[in-house]
Amino acid sequence: MRQPDEELAALELASLRRRLPENAPSLVNFCSNDYLGLAKHSAVVSAYQHAVGEYGAGSTASRLVCGSLAPHRELEQFIAEAKGTEAALTFSTGYATSVGVLSALLQKGDTVILDKLCHASLIDGARLSGAKIRVFPHNHLEKLEHLLARCSAQAQADSRLLVVTESIFSMDGDRAPLQEIAALTKQYRSLLLVDEAHALGVLGKSGMGLAEELGLCGEIDFHMGTLGKAGGVAGGYLAASRSWIDLLINRSRSFIYSTAPPPAQAAASLAALQIISSEEGAQLREKLWSNIRHFEQQVPQVSPATSSILPLMVGEAERALELSQQLRDSGFLVPAIRYPTVPRNTARLRFTLSAAHTTQEIDSVTHHPCFTPLTG
């Protein structure tokens, strides 16, 4: 029987071993997904505290037993209205959302087609479903159409064909060609699920994501996202038609067999979404994009940004770890992203910008001497 120490040693040798970091408050955080700085927003914190006082610390049971409380319903109603759907359902985490939704929508005999760079949680959900899995190269529309044509021709009358993509991809920060993907799924009478985890709060007139920015909300069957990034709190959601949501309530195991998210989490998430969709949210997005453009000007080797995620490519995992540590020693928190999160030999420093960053902070990190070999 292999021992854990042997596996850990192999990971260490390849510079791939992970450890839980202790992140001191003194570090300037350039890896948070709190894109609008809402995690510490007074209205979000106040909503959390008020709900704890009214409902207590937890929901005490699953939603189908006695854990479905007013804050959950109010949050779901807001999400459905914001996304232009009939209903929505929230989950305890983004991972639970992906796994619970895909494993409930799909079964043996169905087919799911995923972008190669889809998040691990989406891949896990697809695997758990028992459906046939097909993968197309990242954002490769020709290959996607080829798969859709073949899979739809082979599909049984009662089987489902689902295309899954992210709107903003978490490690490269690039956008999906969502308009073209939506047109293809409509052409081949398939379903479309879009994960807006890294687009919520960042894109769209009211901050609802890339689908809103492109006017495609009505073309998407399943709007997925998380409340733990730009929302600043925690949890995930799926917005869709009433019948699809009812099916999830009856079949999604991560929803059925899990204690409901604390009501305070739901109340704080609602407060965050209300800010995101308000004039204040628009101002925060303007500040965020100003910070993104300023970062780009300082580090021109970074690909033109289409999101808050700006990866600086390094290559070797060991070198990425060295640079990350040098930055940490100087007071900056910037993670080294390595295999298996990204392909081998594509290790990178993954910067994420926030509306909470100051120009001085951005100037300080981008002028750090460790960047000279990479950007000079």
The domain that holds 307 is classified in CATH as 3.90.1150.10
Tell me: do 55 and 163 sit in the same domain.
yes
* Residues designated catalytic: 33, 119, 166, 170, 195, 198, 229
pLDDT of residue 373: 59
Q: What are phi and psi of 271, to 5 degrees?
A: -60, -40
**Which of 99, 75, 57, 117 is closest to 259 using CA atoms?**
57
Q: Answer with the one of 241, 258, 276 that is the final residue of a domain.
A: 276
Q: Do 221 and 315 have their domain in common? A: no
Do 255 and 126 fall into the same domain? yes
- The answer, yes or no, to whether residue 207 has pLDDT greater than 60, is yes
Shared domain for 335 and 235, answered yes or no, is no
Among residues 139, 98, 132, 91, the alpha carbon closest in space to that of 116 is found at 139
170: nearest Cα among 46, 290, 307, 297: 307
Residues 193 and 285 both lie in one domain = no
CA dihedral 18, 344, 193, 176 (to 10 degrees): 120
191 and 139 together in one domain: yes
Query: For 21, which DSSP code?
Result: -
Last residue of a domain, one of 208, 243, 276: 276
- Residue 264 sits in the same domain as residue 370: no
Tokens of 1: 């029987």
Q: CATH no. for residue 212? A: 3.40.640.10
288, 312: one domain: yes
Longest Cα pair distance anywhere in the chain, in angstroms? 61
**Is 162 inside a domain boundary?**
yes
Q: Which of 226, 254, 276 represents a domain boundary (last residue)?
A: 276
169 plus 265 within the same structural domain: yes
The predicted model gives 52-75 an average pLDDT of 97
Q: What is the mean pLDDT of residues 335-339?
A: 92
Total domains in the fold of the chain? 2
374 has pLDDT over 70: no
> Which tens digit of pLDDT belongs to each residue from 260-283?
999 999 999 999 999 999 999 999
Q: List the domain range (segments joined by +) for residue 173.
A: 42-276
pLDDT digits (tens, 9 = 90+) for 167-194: 999 999 999 999 999 999 999 999 999 9
Residue pLDDT, tens place only, 74-96: 999 999 999 999 999 999 999 99
Do both 154 and 302 map to the same domain? no
